Amino acid sequence: MAHLTLIRHGETDSNRVHRFQGQMDVPLNATGLLQAERLAERLAEERFDVGVVSDLSRTRATAAPLAERIGLTLRQDARWREQHFGVFEGQQVPDILDLHPDLWAQWVRQDADFALPGGGESIRAFHTRVWSALDALAAAHVGQRVLVVTHGGVLDMVWRTVRGQPLSSARQCAIPNAGINRLHWHGPGRAEIDVWADDAHLAGLPPQPSTVSLSVRYGAGVSAP
């Protein structure tokens, strides 16, 4: 069994305005940097044997204060990147509706095998990438405590698998920026959630961007990009 602590990166300006960032290398904003400091304070007394981040700057900057405080070496791994959104990357929903209305109509259907042009990943391909990375990491560190700082879409794939939610459905779990999620891994494809979306350490910081209005206005499948 491996003990996994999975963290979503801190807030970016793209999160704030609901811009699809995907695999674009977008930095943390001022709030995101504060969230990273709060995360470091919260986990400062914990021990981690291994630290892994995606190779995008927003995850590295989120993990850096904690890693420095506890002396943890961070390993970058591109398999923990966000889903690639193809031609949607860098765009807000109103822009997409103007430029790619047909693609948007296909996107909100939540077809697990639909991949956006421009290098986009289907949900199924993304899910396979995420669980391959998780299984490989956990299997290599049985009996150890592993920290992973990653992205909202990655965490959604984890939650769906553990809870048995279909890939072709709207997101049903909260995934706050800099939130803490803890799992026990028991073997390939098998894990249980101990804690999910713990953001008590962020009390008093600006409220996180809400996706409720997006879902109502643009389609039930919309979630934080």
Binding residues: 8-15, 58
Three-state SS for 10? coil
Binding residues for substrate: 8-15, 58
Sign of the CA dihedral running 19, 21, 25, 31:
positive
State the number of CA atoms in the 13 A half-sphere of 40 facing the CB. Answer: 19
Among candidate residues 18, 82, 100, 201, the one labeled active-site is: 82
User: Catalytic annotation on 9?
Assistant: yes
- DSSP letter at 189? T
Among candidate residues 9, 100, 127, 201, the one labeled active-site is: 9
Label the pairing between strands 190-198 and 180-187.
Answer: antiparallel
User: Catalytic annotation on 201?
Assistant: no
d(CA 202, CA 64): 17
What share of residues in the chain are helix, strand, coil (percent, to 5)?
Answer: 40, 20, 40
Q: Which residues belong to the active site?
A: 9, 82
